[in-house]
């Protein structure tokens, strides 16, 4: 019995890994720039119970739950300021379909947004929120992120948009 330690396949794998580590060690590749930051695809069911034109509000209802997120441009990843993000969810204060469950906010100069809103509770089997970018300058994106636990007090969402 003989142990073959090096065959064609392991040799190729090893040399490829070696080459890759040499390149990254030299700082030649910054992952986000190399691949180009990929746009966020719309999620299944993301647009369910959407009400276009939700008002920009400081807070939805009584608050207590914090929705946070970022909005960046596809490719270079530049933060996008002043982008309107709409959000809605089934909360302790109402169903997804009801107007009081909807609100919108604008991103700051770093592309960040946040919204104080009522606690999200599980509906249709999952604790989830809905968010939309639907303002026209970039392609429309509808998201339906899940909470890791329905007891979470916060949910973070990242948008990467492509110019329309």
Partner 1 sequence: MKQQSKQRVILFWGGLAVVLGIPIFAAMTSPLLQWRQPAYIVAGFAGVLALCLLLIQPLAIGRYLPNIDPLRSRAIHRLIGVLLVVMIVTHVGGLWMTSPPDVIDALLFRSPTPFSVWGVIAMWCVFATALLAVLRNRFRIKHKTWQRLHTGLALVIIAGTVAHALLIEGTMETWSKAALAILAIIATLKVMMDLRVWSWRK
Counting contacts by CB under 8 A, is residue 135 touching partner 1?
Answer: no
Q: Mark the segment that binds partner 1 (CB under 8 A) among 14-22, 57-65, 84-92, 152-160.
A: 84-92
CB atoms within 10 A of CB 65: 23
Any contact of residue 45 with partner 1 (CB under 8 A)?
A: yes
Is 95 a residue that touches partner 1 (CB under 8 A)?
A: yes
Instruction: Pick from 86, 91, 105, 107 the residue near partner 1 by CB under 8 A.
Output: 91
The answer to whether 109 contacts partner 1 (rule: CB under 8 A) is no
Residue 63: Cβ-neighbour burial (10 angstroms; 0-12, 13-18, 19+): middle
Does position 42 bind partner 1 by CB under 8 A?
Answer: no
Nearest approach, Cβ of residue 30 and partner 1 (Å): 33
Question: Where do the H-state alpha helices sit in the chain?
Answer: 8-25, 31-35
Backbone angles phi, psi at 106, to 5 degrees: -115, 150
Tell me 46's DSSP state: T
- The reply on whether position 97 binds partner 1 by CB under 8 A is yes
Tokens matching residue 129: 């929120």
Which token pair is 91?
């909360």
Query: Does 73 engage in binding with partner 1 (CB under 8 A)?
Result: no
How many residues line the site for partner 1 (CB under 8 A)?
Answer: 21
Residue 153 binds partner 1 (CB under 8 A): no
* Shortest distance, position 74 Cβ to partner 1, whole Å: 23
Does position 102 interact with partner 1 (CB under 8 A)? The reply is no
User: How far is the C-alpha of 87 from the C-alpha of 97, rounded, in Å?
Assistant: 12
Burial of 78 (0-12, 13-18, 19+ CB in 10 A): exposed
List of residues contacting partner 1 (CB under 8 A): 43-45, 47-49, 90-92, 95-97, 121-127, 144, 150
């Amino acid at each position: 019995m003989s142990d073959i330690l090096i065959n064609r396949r392991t040799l190729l794998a090893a040399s490829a890994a070696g080459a890759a580590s040499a390149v990254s060690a030299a700082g030649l590749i910054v992952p986000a720039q190399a691949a180009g930051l990929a746009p966020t695809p719309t999620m299944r069911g993301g647009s369910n119970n959407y009400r276009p034109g939700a008002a920009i509000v400081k807070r939805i209802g009584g608050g207590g739950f914090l929705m946070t997120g970022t909005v960046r441009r596809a490719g270079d990843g530049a933060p996008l300021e002043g982008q309107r993000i709409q959000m809605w969810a089934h909360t302790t204060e109402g169903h997804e379909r009801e107007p009081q469950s909807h609100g919108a906010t604008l991103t700051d100069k770093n592309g960040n947004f946040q919204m104080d809103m009522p606690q999200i509770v599980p509906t249709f089997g999952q604790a989830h929120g809905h968010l939309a970018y639907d303002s026209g300058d970039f392609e429309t994106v509808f998201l339906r992120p899940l909470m890791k636990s329905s007891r979470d007090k916060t949910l973070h969402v990242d948008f990467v948009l492509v110019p329309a």
